[in-house]
Chains A and B, each alone.
Chain A
Amino acid sequence: MAADKKNDDEILGKAYDARLMRRLLKYVKPYLKYVILAIVLNIIAAALGPLRPYLTKIAIDEYIRDRNYTGLSYVSIGLFAALFLQTFIQYLLTYYTQYLGQRTILDLRMELFAHTQKLALKFFDKTPIGRMVTRVTNDIESLNELFSSGIIMVFSDVFIVLWIFCFMFYLDWRLSLVTLSVLPVLFYGTFLFRKKVRENYRDVRFHLARLNSFMQERVTGISIVQIFFKQKEELKQFSSINADHRKANIESIFYYAVFYPGVELLSSAAIALIIWYGGGEIIQKHLSLGVLFAFIQYTEMFFRPIRDLSEKYNILQTAMASSERVFKLLDEDTIIPSPEAPIRKSSLSGKIDFKNVSFGYGSSNTDFVLKNLSFNIQPGKTTAIVGATGAGKTSIISLLSRFYDIQNGQILVDDIDIKEISEKDLRNNIAIVLQDVFLFSGTIRSNITMDNPAITEEQMIKAARMVGADKFIEQLPNKYDEEVKERGATLSTGQKQLISFARALAYNPQILILDEATSSIDTETEILIQSAIEKLLEGRTAIVIAHRLSTIQNADKILVLHKGELKETGNHQELLAKRGIYYKLYQLQYKNQEISNS
């Protein structure tokens, strides 16, 4: 399905990308002192490791040969001291680098999350939620490994290798060259391995992303899967995605299965060279046994970082790919532009003007959903919007809250273009009961108050009472603290709508917008709500979208919308007199009741 489409999860960053790295390092800057500390500790720790074979060499060549017991004891104690110091430094190093990583990703994660909160709905319309969630959680997480172990580990490996070189060349440069002659083979092998793993890594990631988005969507829509009894077909599809994932992973096993033993073999080859060449030198008395001994240990030490390289390479590559995705989201600029100097208006009177407004969801300038729309709403009045489904009613109110920007025309609130008002002030004055009800996991309380500390217990209860939700809430074991499951799974559709309605009333707004706010609610409750909010609406502006004409016939003004165009305006009486669309609608609903009454 849609998961087959190419997406960001396929981004295959280079293992090292200077541009990205520079940008990443900016986040480390505030913690520079930890970085410096880590580097210093690193240099010391890196030297302590290679020091030990050197000490061993001294023990063998000078003390054991000469039967110097005290000397051997001193060297042993020295060895122990070096080891202990290394352990201690290693501890500090790990701790501080981890701390560095954690702090850095906290900053980055918060920056990213805060950024997503600014993004426009247009962006959310086309971006799967799962993808956004992955960005702020897993992608950021894989950067942690980069900051905490990746960068520092690479440093430390480089230092270790450098120190080993120093010691080796200091001890015997010819034997060093012979030993290191295996390096070109090693580098070439690693290069090949990297290339293969890199391609394969993309496959693995791609199939994993497919697998996850498949499961995510089926779990959310499980009732549809079961109702249509599609389990068998879905399982088949799942198995094929699952098999692709397995195949990609098994392929990667092959590369690792060749690489690890390959490195092992090279390290043995190096030792064989040491024995063969070094042994010959010893026979000719050009070399001491201790040096040979130290070289064997160095070879072991030297190959370990390289053996781990593939793992570090993975960290680096994952991190680069993740950071590319993270930065892409961070650079996403589908934002409703805020004015240079926003006009602050903490309270609006609620006068609304639409002037020649045209709007479409796409980027093209032809597929308009709303066409050249003009109307005005007086403060304190109730306006109703009627029209066939898909006519554009919901779109109108989305525009008023500036969820989308219009292509042509102007929308004014209190005679100010909404592009000039601060977005927060604008929305603070408008409470919408959205057509698509959404409840958060949490409690009934948190859903009505939206965790807004300004809303008191009383206001919350009053709002619930006004919409008649208190009746069922009071019957719940924990009343307002009853748990609400994901999307309100254990409530009836009408109950969810009531809570979402109460949420808007608790907000106590100057402008109240009801988008089919009672579509799933029984008539009795609906009428109860109407009379309850009548008082609340006094002096406030209200916009009501409803299909049942009985609920809107008392509106001060009715807008009749047809395919995005405003066809008629007026109050109930005026519209009936016009004998237009509204009249027909009315007649239809009236006819129905006539028939049923006979």
Chain B
Amino acid sequence: MKNLFSLKKYFLAYKKKLLWGLVFIICSNIGSVYVPILIKNSINILQSATNYETLGKYAFLIVIASLFSGVFRFLIRQSIIVVSREIEYDLRGDFWKHIQNLPMRYFSNNSTGNIMAHATNDINAVRMFIGPAVMYSIDTFIRLIIVISIMLSISTSLTIYSLLPLPVLSFLVYYVGKLIHDRFTKIQEKFSELTTKAQENYSGIRVIKSYTRESGEIESFRNLSKEYLKKNMKLVKVQALFQPILFLITGVSVIIVIWLGGTKVMRGELLLGDITALIIYLGILIWPMIAFGWVINIIQQAEASMARLNKILSEPIEIKDNEDSVETIIDLKGAIKFEDVSFRYSEIQPDVLKDINLIIPVGSTLAIMGHTGSGKSTLVNLLLRLYDVTGGNILIDGNEIKSIPLKTLRKSIGYVPQESFLFSDSLTNNISYGLDAPDLEIVKKSAAISQFEKDVVDFPEGYETIIGERGITLSGGQKQRSALARALVLNPKILILDDSFSAVDTNTEEKILTNLKEFMKNRTSVIISHRISTVKDADNIIVLKDGTIAEEGTHDELFALDGIYADIYNKQLLEKELEEYTD
């Protein structure tokens, strides 16, 4: 139960409504337990001589009592269940607020499906606890006390006998409840495997079709489905027993009342109406008893779900503004300095970057080259604080990067990630994502700089074209250029291009670079590329090798150095046929 305690603050926010709910439950129970008393009395007087008037009075009172109870029952739902929806809203909001700010580390280690399952299933399980479970358990408890005391007042011995099967019931509820819970967890695990499988299959459908793996996919999906069926049937074996046995036990109570009660009536110790009342009361108890088992299950599930949610909610937001951040920094100029920076993705992995020392003056351009996996993207991720350095320091305008408010930092940097992610929305909305409101003028201007405009005019719906998930209906180069336009819209002080021309032809790239030259005046820029043609004009070029700076200098300096850079240069050299054809 300790995880569910963390819901306290949510409950407290609605304590008034919940307290009213409690009052309503008590009132409604007073009404509903009064009905059997009325029935009892009316049957008892039937055995003596009576008249229509008294009968009519009882019948009328039964309806009134029931109406009284009903009104409060309405109010219970309007208070407690409504609160459960309100708390669900709060909880989901808090969950989302937290998720949004979790570090990238979290997202690279947890699948989307997993996170979605928490946001939907787990929150729902907790909601079931807050609403129905709380309502029924309080209701059951109060009802149990009232009903049993009335029963005892009718016939002490009969009540005790008839309630004898109840301990068995409690044990059963507890034991079977646990069994059900375990098996249910297994089912959920299988179901999430099934979901993940489907998700992966549809995301990678192009690859699957290319490699004609459809039948293999169907086979493995079938196996998963079959295992899922088996796990379900395991649960059914227990669950199918649960409900009928509950009925059996409560039914036995009723038979005890009839049998023993019957003999008592024969002996004149009890009236027939008393037995009727006892049976009706037992009937009133049956449902709460069943609900009781159900509530226990819900609570167990909610506890497990809440544990998972708490785990996420307690994931530290590693990267955020803190005491060290200086609120007054609302603007950056763009002088960047790396001091002995080192970085690793996790404790157990080796350093990806080692002893990086680097100065990028305001308005200058730094180009980064290097092998696949040498740490280029990692380096720029550090500039955005998608990760924090594990050693050394990064300074911007002389301020430690951690002291710059995140908002200032990220709003000042225009970043084109290596892999372009676009939302399934219109081009306008995608490109103007960084703005507070879409602005077609700015969008057009940025699209023109990134040479995307000429493609858009060919689209039948222009900038209003809705693109597929992740931008699937655009060509590779179109995706990259939209992502570039999206970064330019910010009018950033620092521009970072991570291999942003890899899918763009040289001709277009050349035009973009010319446009950018104008744009980048007075802005600091970092360009990652494998192409000499892209990096050659940079003010400074570094070549990364296994996470360290192997070479640094301008194009000419590096060329003269005759090292890695010169080697790449030579390898990209076109053969000299051209001369033969120029006149």
Contact = CB atoms under 8 A, between A and B. Distances in A.
B258 interface: yes
A222 B372 CA distance: 24
Contacts of A137: 191, 194-195, 198
A83 interface: yes
Interface string B89-114: 10011001101110010011101100
B216 A239 contact: no
Q: With a 10 A CB-CB cut-off, give which of B51, B104, B251 has the most chain A CB atoms.
A: B251
B493 interface: no
B429 A1 contact: yes
Interface residues of B, number: 178
Contacts of B196: 441
A136 interface: yes
A281 B573 CA distance: 111
14 contacts: A76-B255, A79-B258, A133-B199, A219-B115, A234-B100, A245-B89, A268-B66, A272-B60, A282-B46, A300-B280, A389-B478, A434-B210, A450-B216, A547-B505
A389 B210 contact: no
Nearest to A267: B66
A131 B416 CA distance: 29
Interface stretch (B12-20, B332-340, B531-539): B531-539
B555 A246 contact: no
B390 interface: no
Contacts of A260: 73, 77
A293 B104 CA distance: 69
A386 interface: yes
Contacts of B237: 95
Interface in A512-570: 516, 519-525, 527, 547-550, 553, 563
A524 B371 contact: yes
Contacts of A227: 384, 386, 410, 413, 415, 417
B572 A87 contact: no
Interface in A175-196: none
A106 B279 contact: no
A128 B508 contact: no
B47 A289 contact: yes
B43 interface: yes
Nearest to B215: A117
Q: 6 closest pairs, A vs B, by CB?
A: A389-B477, A494-B372, A261-B70, A268-B66, A257-B77, A94-B240
B39 interface: yes
Interface string B163-204: 000000000000000000000000000010011101111111
Contact of B255 (A80, A125, A228): A80
Given A64-B272, A98-B233, A520 B499 contact: yes
Interface in A112-137: 113-114, 116-118, 121, 124-126, 128-129, 132-133, 136-137
Contact of B469 (A128, A394, A431, A432): A128
B363 interface: no
Nearest to A3: B424
A276 B59 contact: yes
Interface stretch (A55-63, A153-161, A163-171): A55-63
B503 interface: yes
Interface string A563-588: 10000000011001101000111111
B124 to A, nearest CB: 10
B464 to A, nearest CB: 12
Contacts of B9: none
Interface string B410-442: 110101011101011100010001101000000
Nearest to A361: B473
B506 A428 contact: no
Interface stretch (A17-25, A247-255, A411-419): A247-255
A239 B93 contact: yes
Contacts of B69: 261, 264
Contact of A289 (B272, B407, B573): B272
Contacts of A216: 112, 116
A592 B529 CA distance: 15
A103 B229 contact: yes
Interface in B259-306: 259, 262-263, 265-266, 272, 276, 279-280, 283
A90 interface: yes
B423 A217 contact: yes
Q: With a 10 A CB-CB cut-off, give which of A52, A279, A487 has the most chain B CB atoms.
A: A279
Given A117-B217, A229-B411, A242-B93, A90 B243 contact: yes
A355 B76 CA distance: 74
Interface string B507-523: 11110000000000000
Interface stretch (A67-75, A318-326, A376-384): A67-75
B371 A590 contact: no
A276 B56 contact: yes
Given A275-B62, A472-B372, 13 more contacts: A2-B423, A2-B425, A72-B259, A102-B229, A110-B221, A121-B205, A227-B386, A227-B413, A283-B55, A436-B476, A441-B111, A489-B108, A583-B581
B206 interface: yes
